Amino acid sequence: MRPVPLACVVLMVGILASATGCDKSKPEPSPETLVLPPGTPALDLTGKPQLIFQVFGERANPRVLPLVAVVNGVIKPIGLTADGWRRLDSLYFQPGTKYPIYVDDIAEGEIEIERGMWGDGGRASYPLPGCTRLKPIATAKLTFTRPHDDKAVEVLATSLPLAKHPPFTGKIPTEAEIMKLGRDFGHAVGKSAGMDEPEMDALDFNARAVITGATREPTLLVSFLDPEGGDAGPGAGNTSHIFALGDKIGAVYEPTWRHVTSGDPKTVEFQRMIDHLDADGDGVDEVIVLAWRFGADNDLVMLSFKAGRWHEVLRLKEKWCLDVPKRNK
């Protein structure tokens, strides 16, 4: 079990921050007039479509948050009215319901729902000040099939089991090889965007080999991240960041996704991988990325591998509060 990065706290912080910004004086809208986010298609819950959840927080008391739906092999955002979210809660978050959990696209155990969002007399289990419309978050019991000693968790769960992939038969580089390959690869990506090595070497570096099915070789994941969030303090001064994926095209690893940025840390978007799994059943994993900025809502980004490159196919705001912000007149 890989360790959970400290940055996983960003998700919950972003949700709470967005929720507390809701207008306390705003009258409660009726479900019929509640407007969905622009461009979000409504999700039909009649056939109880496949959902992907994020399970996060303290291992002893994890939370379960709906992320996306998969309908006929197509990944879709969950577009629902307030009543629709309550129906989702009643369909998927009944106490005792069990769902498989996945880490690196491998089944690692299960969650058992202990409490839904509105299971207690219609009152929200997790009310937020000034927010009248909420997405459901459930509380669950988490069971791993392998030893897991971390106090915090961040895994994915699905409402139906995913198709099992054939076992990977290629060669996985050693940790030392991954770190050497990743640093050289990351330096090349940064230099192509105008960064120099001292700038990159001042950042926290991490590299992983990830079995995604994009090619016959592992996908290389590289991250250079400012641990202080700015050279003049958190959110101040200047910062730089690299998040890149590489896949072996021919004899060498080539950049297949690159996010390289420098500037004011209040405006820079940071990215990290939450996890990867084959959500649509095509044999190649989707990479699920968390994107965040200081003082802003987090974004959930899904990457799919098409025509030799990773492409952003879905971007959603990680907002728990559904109230529409009040416009200034």
pLDDT grade for 327, boundaries at 50, 70 and 90: low
Q: Residues 115, 220: one domain?
A: no
Q: Residues 127, 188: one domain?
A: no
In this predicted structure, the answer to whether residue 165 has a pLDDT above a threshold of 90 is: no
In this predicted structure, the answer to whether residue 16 has a pLDDT above a threshold of 50 is: no
pLDDT at 321: 84
In a domain, 328, yes or no: no
CA atoms within 13 A on the CB side of 283: 7
What average pLDDT does the chain have?
85
Tell me how far apart the alpha carbons of residues 158 and 94 are, in angstroms, rounded to a whole number. 15
Q: Residues 14, 114: one domain?
A: yes
pLDDT at 209: 97
In this predicted structure, the answer to whether residue 98 has a pLDDT above a threshold of 80 is: yes
Last residue of a domain, one of 108, 128, 158: 158
Task: Quickly list H helices, the chain.
Answer: 9-20, 82-92, 175-192, 197-201
pLDDT grade for 325, boundaries at 50, 70 and 90: low
Q: Residues 222, 148: one domain?
A: no
Residues of the domain holding 190:
175-277
In this predicted structure, the answer to whether residue 6 has a pLDDT above a threshold of 50 is: no
Q: Residues 16, 125: one domain?
A: yes
* DSSP assignment letter at 4: P
Tell me if residue 163 falls in helix, strand or coil: coil
In a domain, 308, yes or no: no
In this predicted structure, the answer to whether residue 233 has a pLDDT above a threshold of 80 is: no
In this predicted structure, the answer to whether residue 71 has a pLDDT above a threshold of 90 is: yes
Q: Which residue has the higher pLDDT, 126 or 172?
A: 172
pLDDT at 250: 87
Q: Residues 227, 110: one domain?
A: no
pLDDT digits (tens, 9 = 90+) for 245-259: 999 988 899 999 999
pLDDT at 308: 95
Token duo for residue 231: 């050279």
Q: Residues 153, 185: one domain?
A: no
Quick one: average pLDDT of 55-80? 93
In a domain, 293, yes or no: no
In a domain, 317, yes or no: no
Q: Residues 18, 98: one domain?
A: yes
Q: Give percent of the chain above pLDDT 70.
A: 85
In this predicted structure, the answer to whether residue 260 has a pLDDT above a threshold of 60 is: yes
Domain count, the chain: 2
In a domain, 30, yes or no: yes
pLDDT at 323: 80
Tell me if residue 8 falls in helix, strand or coil: helix
In this predicted structure, the answer to whether residue 243 has a pLDDT above a threshold of 80 is: yes
Last residue of a domain, one of 115, 132, 158: 158
pLDDT digits (tens, 9 = 90+) for 168-225: 888 899 999 999 999 999 999 999 999 999 999 999 999 999 999 999 999 999 999 9
Token duo for residue 70: 């998969």
* DSSP assignment letter at 7: G
Q: Residues 66, 136: one domain?
A: yes
Q: Residues 195, 263: one domain?
A: yes
